[in-house]
């Protein structure tokens, strides 16, 4: 529970993360400082005032490490440096100092399941012999078939039909195959090799010593694999491969992974306040607490609000379930509606519920109409709803502008391996990663003075920061006000539900009288007595319209 004892400086409070608001920056698409069309660390430093104006507690930076950018930087070739395209370690230190000075903490992304094929250790492995020390840092095996021409198993990867690639693709000459849970350019580490454990502890310490406050752990359920032979072949049930109920999956969510995280926790706890971590683990809900335990990573993303429909019933059920899960080990809830892997939530909520979003994206957003206004309106309502819940909230850059997904990136400009390597069955995630519009009048909307690495559509001008700043009813002002109020209102991590007598309206309160009501699709609802603190859309005659959230104090 939130500490209620003696006041402590926020910087010493070891519980600061429990109800923090963390703003995700996708560095390449935030601000570009040197006109090469790629956002960079100096760009982030130049916008500290903006970040401060958001009243966030921390930023989380998606990877900025040296990378050939096959998977947007989640293909790391050196874990302890900055990609020259994005800056230098000195730029990083400068950015961190400026963030801390502004009272904003920083999470960096750690990608331990796989690296880039350009990582020196993979380059060493591919030129070494089978069974060599160099190859043993990865997962190399002989193929099946008379001449080893078939992959060792039928396992599939997220970004390619097979989870195995023949080494010849990268110049290897020994007829072996290597394992990759994602793209072939992202070889998986062999976590049964203690050298890998040691190297990641070194990486964590490197960033922790530089002053980083927390870590977001990519594919935290990966790392350990069942490599016992004969290999288990893929079952028709997906969960037996990577979403097991019993910790005995083939490719992910294996119980041994917690041995790794217990060691990481020991390292985190050597700092004061301890470093924090949040797991990105795509696992069955009942396994989430294992990642969020105070002996392991401490917190685990809960992505349910990204997927559930915008209905009173699913919102209420989801909150209840998430709170129960967080209680299992005393972690705090993690709410989020958008991130760099998902269609922006304003867009999801502007589509009819019957629309298959994947097919809609493949049609460049033409197969069904998008009601942008309703989408942004519902998105703000959903955001104010989750911001009033106990726990921490993870926001994604651009959502504070009510920004929509870009659906029509021309095929020649698509970067995402989810499209390119995946037989093009999925349009991919670039549409949520288009550089932010800062200034409606400027070239490239003030993101850069050179062509941006992903094209910004003309309609981005309507969402630009300078158009929204200071306008009371803009999405940006609503976020700024809500986050400011939230800071004042934050209290014990408890909620009480109240009957509304209306199936479309939810009402809950926090112990200090902070009440939140949301009307999904019902007719105007009479707001109970109390001081109206703020709302996601204008309120008239004390009535809450559909697609609106209000906070009141009573
Ligand atoms: C999850 C990251 O969020 C995503 O962007 C990436 O493609 C995969 N992990 C692989 O690292
Ligand atoms: Ca740049």
How confident is the model at residue 1, as a pLDDT? Answer: 39
Q: In whole angstroms, give the CA distance from residue 291 to residue 261.
A: 8
Determine if ligand 1 sits within 6 Å of the CB of residue 218. Answer: yes
Locus of tokens 């730029």: 91
Taking alpha carbons only, the member of 473, 443, 466, 460 closest to residue 405 is: 460
Q: Is the CB of 111 under 6 A from ligand 1?
A: yes
Q: Whose CA is nearest to atom 3 of ligand 1?
A: 341
Ligand minimally distant from the alpha carbon of residue 29: 2
Do 75 and 103 belong to one domain? Answer: yes
* φ and ψ at residue 215, rounded to 5 degrees: -130, 135
Among 450, 475, 500, the domain boundary falls at 475
pLDDT at 242: 83
Could you tell me if 269 and 245 lie in one domain? yes
In a domain, 481, yes or no: no
CATH value at residue 133: 3.90.400.10
Residue 55 near residue 480, CB atoms below 8 Å: yes
Q: What is the CATH number for 407?
A: 3.20.20.80
Cβ–ligand 1 contact at 341 (below 6 Å): yes
Judge if 166 and 209 occupy the same domain: no
- Are residues 136 and 21 part of one domain? no
Ligand 2 midpoint to CA 429 (Å) = 21
Is residue 354 located within the same domain as residue 240? yes
Atom of ligand 1 nearest to the CA of 219: 9
Radius of gyration of the chain (CA): 23
Ligand nearest the Cα of residue 432 is: 1
Assigned domain for 483 exists:
no
Indicate if 239 and 334 belong to the same structural domain.
Answer: yes
Which of 157, 182, 306 gets mutated to test ligand 1 (max ligand atoms within 8 A of its CB)?
A: 182
Q: Are strands 514-519 and 505-509 parallel, antiparallel or unpaired?
A: antiparallel
What is the reported pLDDT for 10?
A: 60
> To the nearest 10°, the Cα dihedral for 23, 28, 31, 36?
180
In a domain, 538, yes or no: yes
State which ligand 1 atom lies nearest to the alpha carbon of 71: 7
Q: Residues 6 or more apart from 327 whose CB is under 8 A from it? A: none
What the block records as the tokens of 52 is 């401060």
d(CA 140, CA 423): 25
Tell whether 344 and 462 lie within a shared domain.
yes
Geometric angle at alpha carbon 163, from 252 and 283, rounded to 5°:
20
Specify if 339 maps to a domain. Answer: yes
What are the per-10-residue average pLDDT scores of the chain (554 residues)? 49 90 98 98 98 98 98 98 98 98 98 98 98 98 97 92 96 98 97 98 98 98 96 72 90 97 98 97 94 97 94 98 93 97 97 94 96 97 98 98 97 89 84 98 98 97 98 97 97 97 98 98 96 97 98 98
Ligand 1 atom 4: the closest Cα is on which residue? 341
CA–centroid distance, 32 to ligand 2, in Å, is 4
Give the closest residue to 447 by CA, choosing from 457, 438, 458, 434: 438
Kindly give, in sequence order, each residue whose CB lies less than 8 Å from that of residue 394, ignoring residues fewer than 6 positions away: 22, 24, 60, 278, 301, 334, 335, 336, 339
Total count of residues recorded for the chain = 554
Q: Quick check: is 146 in a domain?
A: yes
- CB-based contacts of 254: which residues, under 8 Å, 6+ apart? 224, 225, 226, 244, 247, 248
| Ligand 1 atom 10, closest CA | 74
Ion ligand 2, residue ranges at CB < 5 A: 32, 34, 36, 38, 40
Nearest to 75, CA basis, from 172, 220, 210, 184:
184
Residue 426 belongs to domain spanning: 17-114+194-475
Assess contact for 308 and 315: CB atoms under 8 A: yes
Are residues 237 and 93 both part of a single domain? Answer: yes
So what's the pLDDT on residue 238? 58
In a domain, 480, yes or no: no
Find where tokens 């800071």 sit: 487
Mutate to test the pocket of ligand 1, among 181, 183, 219, 415 (most ligand atoms within 8 A of CB): 219
Q: Is 74 in the pocket of ligand 1 (CB under 6 A)?
A: yes
CATH of residue 539's domain is 2.60.40.1180
Give long-range contacts, CB 8 A cutoff, 24+ apart: 467-474: 467/440, 468/401, 473/537, 473/538, 474/402
User: Do 271 and 357 share a structural domain?
Assistant: yes
Residue 44 lies inside a defined structural domain of this protein? yes
Same domain, 304 and 402: yes
Tell me, in angstroms, the distance from the centre of ligand 1 to residue 25's CA: 14
Burial class (CB in 10 A: 0-12, 13-18, 19+), 472: exposed
Total number of domains constituting the chain: 3
Instruction: Output the residue whose Cα is nearest ligand 1's atom 11.
Output: 74
In a domain? residue 172: yes
Q: Are residues 432 and 541 located together in one domain of the fold?
A: no
Q: Whose CA is nearest to atom 2 of ligand 1?
A: 218
Do 157 and 142 belong together in one domain? yes
With CA atoms as reference, report the closest residue to 77 among 109, 47, 118.
118
Cβ–ligand 1 contact at 109 (below 6 Å): no
CB 455 within 8 A of CB 443: no
CB-based contact 361:407 (threshold 8 Å): yes
Q: Write down which residue in 154, 179, 204 finishes a domain.
A: 179
To the nearest 10°, the Cα dihedral for 228, 234, 236, 239? 60
Which residues does 473 contact at the CB level (< 8 Å), separation at least 6?
537, 538
Q: How many CB atoms lie within 10 A of CB 411?
A: 10
Q: Give the span between the Cα atoms of 365 and 369, in whole angstroms.
A: 8
């Amino acid at each position: 529970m939130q500490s209620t004892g003696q006041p402590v400086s926020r910087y010493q409070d070891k519980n600061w993360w429990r109800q923090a608001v963390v703003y995700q920056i996708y560095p390449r698409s935030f601000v570009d400082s040197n006109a090469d069309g790629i956002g960079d660390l100096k760009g982030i430093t130049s916008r500290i005032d903006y970040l401060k104006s958001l009243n966030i507690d921390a930023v989380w930076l998606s990877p900025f490490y040296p990378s050939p950018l096959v998977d947007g930087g989640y293909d790391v070739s050196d874990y302890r440096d900055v990609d020259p395209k994005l800056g230098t370690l000195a730029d990083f230190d400068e950015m961190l100092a400026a963030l801390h000075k502004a009272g904003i903490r920083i999470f960096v992304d750690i990608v331990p399941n796989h690296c880039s094929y350009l990582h020196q250790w993979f380059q060493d492995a591919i030129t070494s012999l089978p069974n060599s020390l160099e190859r043993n840092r990865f997962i190399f095996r002989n193929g099946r078939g008379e001449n080893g021409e078939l992959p060792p198993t039928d396992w599939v990867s997220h970004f390619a039909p097979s989870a195995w690639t023949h080494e010849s693709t990268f110049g290897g000459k020994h007829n072996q195959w290597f394992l990759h849970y994602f793209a072939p350019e992202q070889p998986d580490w062999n976590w049964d090799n203690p050298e890998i454990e040691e190297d990641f502890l070194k990486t964590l310490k490197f960033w922790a010593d530089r002053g980083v406050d927390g870590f977001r752990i990519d594919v935290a359920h990966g790392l350990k694999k069942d490599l016992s032979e004969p290999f288990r072949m893929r079952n028709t049930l997906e969960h037996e491969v990577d979403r097991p109920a019993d910790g005995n999956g083939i490719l992910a969510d294996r119980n041994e992974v917690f041995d790794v995280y217990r060691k990481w926790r020991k390292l985190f706890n050597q700092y004061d306040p301890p470093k924090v971590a949040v797991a990105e683990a795509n696992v069955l809900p009942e396994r989430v607490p294992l990642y969020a335990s105070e002996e392991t990573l401490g917190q685990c993303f809960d992505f349910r609000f990204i997927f559930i429909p915008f209905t009173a019933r699913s919102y209420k059920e989801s909150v209840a379930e998430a709170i129960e899960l967080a209680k299992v080990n005393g972690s705090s809830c993690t709410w989020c509606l958008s991130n760099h892997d998902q269609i922006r939530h304003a867009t999801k909520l502007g589509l009819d519920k019957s629309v298959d979003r994947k097919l809609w994206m493949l049609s460049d957003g033409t197969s069904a109409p998008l009601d942008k206004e309703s989408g942004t309106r519902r998105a703000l309502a959903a955001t104010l709803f989750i911001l009033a819940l106990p726990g921490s909230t993870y926001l994604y850059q651009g959502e504070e502008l009510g920004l929509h997904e870009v659906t029509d990136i021309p095929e020649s400009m698509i970067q995402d391996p989810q499209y390119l390597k995946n037989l093009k069955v999925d349009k991919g995630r670039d549409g949520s990663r288009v550089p932010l519009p800062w200034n409606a009048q400027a070239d490239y909307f003030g993101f850069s003075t050179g062509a941006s690495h992903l094209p910004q559509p003309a309609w981005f001008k309507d969402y630009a920061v300078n158009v929204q700043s200071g306008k009371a009813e803009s999405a940006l002002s609503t976020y700024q006000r809500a986050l400011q109020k939230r800071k004042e209102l934050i209290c014990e991590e408890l909620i009480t539900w109240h009957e509304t007598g209306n199936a479309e309206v939810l009402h809950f309160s926090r112990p200090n009288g902070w009440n939140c009501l949301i009307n999904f699709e019902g007719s105007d609802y009479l707001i109970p007595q109390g001081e109206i603190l703020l709302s996601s859309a204008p309120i008239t005659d004390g009535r809450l319209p559909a697609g609106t959230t209000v906070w009141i104090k009573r």
